Amino acid sequence: MKKINLKTQAYITIKQKIATCEYAPGTFLSEELLVEELKISRTPIRDALGRLEQEGLLEIRPKKGITVTPLSIKDVTMIFEIRKLYEPYIIKNYGSALDEGVLHKFCEDFSLTNKSSEWFKDNRTFYSLDTSFHQMIVNACQNIYLCQNYELIQTHNERFRFMTGNLSPQRLKDTLLEHLSIINACLKKDWEDASQTLSYHLEQSKQAAFRLIFDSPGNNHITL
């Protein structure tokens, strides 16, 4: 982080801390606190805060304070509703725009991960692979309004991952296999099949997310 301006640095840094729940949902922040923590003056901090509020990641109450937007079960539902609306639609209509080389690369990565014996210990690599896989699909539509919205949703989604802890090894394995099925359908250029497989995958992921929330009561700050 060298040549970009301070307000962008502040924006990226704070957003990252929100996404990873270093600033957990509901946390009370203040400009003063952030000034000290980031060693950046108020002006660029405030710029960043305004943008983050615009994105719904913060709530600024004049003369009272700033809180990190809380998460609730309802948010999981809303996020998955949008994903289930976007992703199958995109793969069905823009699947042909996907780069075959990239698909093969993902296929390889997922297969390798699947064969490795200790793969489930490195969750971070797994999640980043997962995120970029879905991102790749969405980007195929070339609709900036849609892509931008998806990216925003992904940030919220990431917060859930960090709040709820890790998925079960079984669910991780299933995720891998579901991804491979999607890729296979794409390589066969059967977009209808790809779309349906993706729908199924998202539904499974959603249910796994719910199980995680309900099975670990108290250890997270997710509101009902």
Binding at 30: pick from a copy of itself, DNA, none (beta carbon under 5-8 Å per type):
DNA
State in angstroms the smallest separation of the CB of 2 from a copy of itself. 15
DSSP 188: T
Give whichever of 63 and 115 is closer to a copy of itself, judged by the CB atom. Answer: 63
- Residue 29 found at the interface with DNA (CB under 7 A): yes
State in angstroms the smallest separation of the CB of 3 from DNA. 8
Tokens 């891998």 correspond to 176
Nearest to 222 by CA among 22, 14, 74, 79: 74
DSSP 23: S
Query: Total residues at the site for DNA (CB under 7 A)?
Result: 20
- Residue 12 found at the interface with DNA (CB under 7 A): no
Binding at 124: pick from a copy of itself, DNA, none (beta carbon under 5-8 Å per type):
none
Give whichever of 54 and 117 is closer to a copy of itself, judged by the CB atom. Answer: 54
Binding at 41: pick from DNA, a copy of itself, none (beta carbon under 5-8 Å per type):
DNA
Contact window for DNA (CB under 7 A) among 17-25, 34-42, 84-92, 175-183: 34-42
Q: How far is CA 79 from CA 18, 83, 152, 206, 218, in A?
A: 17, 6, 10, 9, 22
Q: Tokens for 221?
A: 């700050």
Q: Give the residues lining the site for a copy of itself (CB under 8 A).
A: 5, 7, 46-47, 50-51, 53-56, 62, 78-79, 81-82, 85-86, 89, 141, 143-146, 148-149, 152-153, 156
State in angstroms the smallest separation of the CB of 63 from DNA. 4
Q: Tokens for 207?
A: 């249910």
Give whichever of 154 and 184 is closer to a copy of itself, judged by the CB atom. Answer: 154
State in angstroms the smallest separation of the CB of 164 from a copy of itself. 19
Q: Cβ distance 76 to 209 under 8 Å?
A: yes
C-alpha 208/C-alpha 123 separation (Å) is 16
Q: Cβ distance 86 to 146 under 8 Å?
A: yes
Q: Cβ distance 68 to 58 under 8 Å?
A: yes
Q: Cα-atom radius of gyration of the chain, to the nearest Å?
A: 19
Residues at the contact surface with DNA, assessed by CB under 7 A:
5-7, 29-32, 40-44, 46-47, 60, 62-66
